[in-house]
Chains A and B, each alone.
Chain A
Amino acid sequence: MKRGLQGNEQEDGGGTSGGCQKTLKRSRKQRREKDLEDEESRWECLPQEILLHIFQYLPLLDRAFASQVCRGWNETFHMPELWRCFEFELNQPASSYLKATHPDLIKQIIKRHSDHLQYVSFKVDSSRESAEAACDILSQLVNCSLKTLGLISTARPSFMEMPKSHFISALTVVFVNSKSLSSLKIDDTPVDDPSLKVLVANNSDTLKLLKMSSCPHVSPAGILCVADQCHGLRELALNYHLLSDELLIALSSEKHVHLEHLRIDVVSENPGQQFHTIKKSSWDAMMRHSPKFNLVMYFFLYEDEFGPFFRDEIPVTHLYFGRSVSKDVLGRVGLNCPRLVELVVCANGLRPLDEELIRIAQRCTQLSAIGLGECEVSCSAFVEFVKMCGDRLTQLSIMEEVLVPDHRYGLDDIHWEVSKHLGRVWFPDMMPTW
């Protein structure tokens, strides 16, 4: 806003207030005082839409301070647009270092804004009380029509420690009332088949994203019901025991949209666990239906539990081995994962992975990201690998200990060789030594 100190300059912007004119006849001091008054009244002239827009940039605390300025600003603070998204943080001092959302604020939201809420998430710490508090709030959101709901454990999965019935009834409130749920994140919760049925009964047209890794009370039939009815489902995350040929076929049915993202966690409950296999034909059906979909697989298995995996071609794109994985399995990965984009190996062992890496470079032509932890690769083989992949490798994260110097390359010169082939300066990941 211009502050005209001379002449009869017109005011620009928001000239609805009568006191916005100035005259030469007043003394300088009087003019300055009037300017200040005008400034203040100009703030009142600010249209609510603009104020709203500005408020959207402020973090909640600052907005709250601003809302105390005057009635107009307080009104704006409570406009529905500002209450569409909310993240409830529920922490107990005994179990967390972080502060929680203030209980009074929560009360206020439930009272005044529960029908504005559309995108809601709950972050809870590892205490049961926090999980129960989250469910209490959920149970009160009867007027909400949520589009997005996320139940996120930030430490131990505390939703699993609360009474299942309490959780289910709270969740059901949301499913029944929000007939247009689009995204649902309920990993590590005691959700079960009946509640999934309720979800499907009310939201089958709108559901696009469902993340439910590590939900032990759900059965393959339960998730199959979701796949059968929710034809708009684009993203799904679940555990391997829920995966079945029927599920993949259901997701590839004609009525279904293209799947974009499928995340599967393969977790060993007990050593020596047997895992079922998925037929190659089921994966083929998926590929035909959704040729561009991402298949993300996280393995947390013992080395001897990989028997059923990577025997046939599988369209996995992102592969993470959270424990030790054998040379043999990595060899099979090279043979059977032509769509591989990202590979992360936490640990392997003390025998070099030279051949396996070379094969992966040859056969996984989409590979652009790789991370290696406690493994061993000879420097020469590593250089060869990088040469073959070239600059398509946008992420190359190798722990320094992985590289074994040989007759051709030492640790000090390998990063130049690798940098050459990558087309950018590269160094291995280091850990402090002291």
Chain B
Amino acid sequence: MVVNTIHWFRKGLRLHDNPSLKDSIRGSDTLRCIYILDPWFAGSSNVGINRWRFLLQCLEDLDASLRKLNSRLFVIRGQPTDVFPRLFKEWQINRLSYEYDSEPFGKERDAAIQKLANEAGVEVMVRISHTLYNLDKIIELNGNQPPLTYKRFQAVINRMDAVEMPAETITFEVLKNCVTPISEDHDEKFGVPSLEELGFETEGLTTAVWPGGETEALMRLERHLERKAWVANFERPRMNANSLLASPTGLSPYLRFGCLSCRLFYFKLTDLYRKVKKNHTPPLSLYGQLLWREFFYTTATNNPCFDKMDGNPICVQIPWDRNPEALAKWAEGRTGFPWIDAIMTQLRQEGWIHHLARHGVACFLTRGDLWISWEEGMKVFEELLLDADWSVNAGSWMWLSCSSFFQQFFHCYCPVGFGRRTDPNGDYIRRYLPILRGFPAKYIYDPWNAPEEVQKAAKCIIGVHYPKPMVNHAEASRINIERMKQIYQQLSCYRGLGMDASLLATVPANSNFGGNGTNPRTVSTATNEGPGGSSKDPSVQVGMSQTERAQSVQKRRHEETPLESSSKSWKQSK
């Protein structure tokens, strides 16, 4: 029987460590590697030009690599549920392979495709290679709940079996007799589109700071490891002014798109460490970047509401402000705080910012200054940030806005001080906000405090050439810390957590301020963890009460009243 195979690229845009592709080649007569250009980019309609360009470069790179193997990439436009039945028939497909997608939207989409495949008699081969581990196993090991603290997650990881070795790279040997039927008009029908063809304006577009593709990814990996070996120090490097700039060894966008296998990275790091540190066992902190990614993937995989506050059982319900004007100022780098504006400018221009810069702007938008919902910030990052995939982006925003994961809320990044400490000279500001170039280091982080002569000399009058600061930070942070406190004092699941619960919540809460008509006492389901209790995972015990809390809060949110009279109009509204 002739076996005709389709391999469906979604993430995992690489030929190294691609077990689903490799396994499906075995015994195949023909192979076609496809990418479906879903105009809705796997669930999010919110994608900026840098992300599209990166993706297209990945696809070009794949196509080039496949060409060397006498094959090609087939780019097909449309929705998967429409595309597949057609292709199954046209190409007489009996085998389909793809890399497992753990995100809720991905799982739903794939379930639909599985069904179509079953109906068409197509064998489906799925393998895990976008994450280090099988996430369902992590959840199982943690009592069928995803760990809600990073430390707990690490503890569970320690008990997992070793990470599986990367699969063999696809080469001529691997392909053997498997061929790809390529038509003369392949480029016309299935070629990788250009940015212009997709409708983007490319005039004035600067070269990509982060070029997409597997080739680039593997080169960067080598450089990354070289640099680590040279430094011979695996400690987290202290933050300095240079760290803010895009690094030629940065890997996060490549991990997100799957140009670089996380398992390959993992093993190469391990080997290098053993070589340099003479066979010591590497600490978990070595894999920090990879494990954070894994952590958020695990928390998100069974939660379709992970990217929202409403209806999300792990998200604290915070009364964020709706303020589109303020949001726009933040998104477009017009807040009047050079530190914030420079970061948002770099983000828009290049598609990547340092993780501490992310903390700074996220804090400013949410619990620090503007009190705007983290969902809005997440959407902006989704549009602009190359390495922001659904799970990691939503999870990080919840973390940074203290909406989940048991974070302390007292710590607030100052939009002036934080930048000043990181880059005292202000070169980063000057680079991304040229209008402020003339300001001396003393005033570049708070130019509104500069005397008139200084502003005149810098040829930049604050309020005219550069906006005045949109908030008074001292005032805003005073108000916001009070707001956070109000919320956390009501969260019974944080009380009685013993250690590391909530600083600043020790002020006596007046118990007479009860909820609506229920007894003034709080519905407390907190466990009283004494000192030694930290071995119990707060997330398992507390997670329940937080869910209950969230749900009961949800209920109250949708409160409507029955009218005393016969009119039942209230039942119509939610």
Contact = CB atoms under 8 A, between A and B. Distances in A.
A67 B151 CA distance: 47
Given A300-B474, A397-B408, A85 B531 contact: no
Q: Which of B151, B355, B477 has the most CB of A within 10 A?
A: B151
A214 B478 CA distance: 10
Given A101-B559, A371-B411, A324 B235 contact: no
Given A432-B395, A433-B288, A410 B531 contact: no
Contacts of A298: 478, 481
Interface stretch (B214-222, B329-337, B507-515): B507-515
B503 A397 contact: yes
A119 B558 contact: no
A112 B561 CA distance: 14
Contacts of B498: 394
A425 interface: yes
Contact of A267 (B474, B516, B558, B570): B474
A265 interface: yes
Given A152-B486, A424-B531, A99 B501 contact: no
Contacts of B449: 271
Contact of B532 (A84, A346, A411, A424): A424
B343 interface: no
A60 B355 CA distance: 44
A105 B561 contact: yes
A382 interface: no
B413 interface: yes
Interface stretch (B43-51, B70-78, B320-328): B320-328
Contacts of A64: 560-562
Interface string A313-339: 000001010111000000000000000
Interface stretch (A1-9, A89-97, A198-206): A89-97
A373 interface: yes
B502 to A, nearest CB: 8
Nearest to B359: A431
A121 interface: yes
B513 A150 contact: yes
Interface string B236-272: 1001000000000000100000000000000000000
A423 B531 contact: yes
Contacts of A251: none
B131 to A, nearest CB: 14
Q: Which of B392, B520, B531 has the most CB of A within 10 A?
A: B531
A68 B542 CA distance: 35
A150 B482 CA distance: 14
Interface in B190-224: none
Contacts of A121: 513
B118 interface: no
A157 B559 contact: no
A395 B508 contact: no
Interface in B372-420: 373, 387, 392, 395-396, 399-400, 407-408, 410-414, 417-418
A264 interface: no
B321 A323 contact: no
Nearest to B236: A411
Given A373-B410, A424-B531, A96 B235 contact: no
B417 A347 contact: yes
A369 interface: yes
Interface in B468-503: 474-475, 477-479, 481-483, 486, 498-501, 503
Contacts of B400: 431-432
Contact of B322 (A97, A347, A430): A97
Interface stretch (B31-39, B95-103, B549-557): B549-557
Given A119-B520, A391-B531, A431-B359, A102 B560 contact: yes
A57 B516 CA distance: 11
A147 B514 CA distance: 13
Given A104-B563, A214-B478, A369 B506 contact: yes
> SS class of chain A's interface: helix, strand, loop or mixed?
mixed
A147 B520 CA distance: 13
Contact of B408 (A86, A93, A371, A434): A371
A116 B65 CA distance: 77
Contacts of B171: none
A95 B322 CA distance: 4
A411 B235 CA distance: 8
A334 to B, nearest CB: 19
A235 B560 CA distance: 35
Contact of A61 (B252, B413, B556): B556
A97 B323 contact: no
Contacts of B508: 235, 260-261
A252 interface: no
B92 interface: no
B317 A156 contact: no
Nearest to B564: A108
A431 B478 contact: no
A226 B157 CA distance: 59
Given A119-B512, A126-B321, A424-B499, A157 B479 contact: yes
B531 A63 contact: no
A233 B570 CA distance: 43
Contacts of A425: 534-535
Given A394-B499, A433-B355, A97 B516 contact: no
B88 interface: no
A249 interface: no
Nearest to A301: B474
A156 B371 contact: yes
Contacts of B478: 214, 265, 267, 298, 300, 322
Interface in A383-434: 391, 394-397, 399, 401, 405, 410-412, 422-427, 429-434
Nearest to A213: B482
B321 A96 contact: yes
Given A61-B555, A102-B559, A395-B500, A97 B285 contact: no
A188 B476 CA distance: 12
B410 A87 contact: no
A107 B171 CA distance: 75
B503 A96 contact: no
Contacts of A156: 321, 371, 479
Nearest to B321: A155
B317 to A, nearest CB: 7
B474 A322 contact: yes
A11 B321 CA distance: 57
Contact of A59 (B323, B520, B556): B556
A374 B418 contact: yes
A203 to B, nearest CB: 15
Contacts of A83: 517
A60 B474 contact: no
A90 to B, nearest CB: 11
A322 B483 CA distance: 14
B150 interface: yes
B27 to A, nearest CB: 39
B420 to A, nearest CB: 9
Contacts of A268: 474
A342 B517 CA distance: 34
Interface in A54-72: 56-65, 67-68
A35 B355 CA distance: 67
A401 B373 CA distance: 26
Interface in B295-328: 296, 309-310, 317, 319-323
Given A102-B561, A104-B570, 15 more contacts: A57-B519, A64-B562, A67-B562, A85-B517, A96-B321, A104-B561, A261-B507, A344-B503, A347-B421, A371-B410, A373-B411, A391-B531, A426-B500, A432-B355, A433-B355
25 contacts: A56-B517, A57-B519, A59-B515, A59-B552, A59-B556, A91-B319, A101-B559, A102-B560, A119-B512, A119-B514, A154-B486, A155-B483, A187-B482, A265-B478, A322-B478, A322-B481, A323-B417, A342-B504, A371-B410, A374-B421, A397-B410, A405-B235, A427-B151, A433-B288, A433-B355
Which are the 7 A-B pairs with shortest beta-carbon distances? Answer: A105-B561, A154-B319, A373-B411, A155-B321, A85-B514, A60-B516, A102-B561
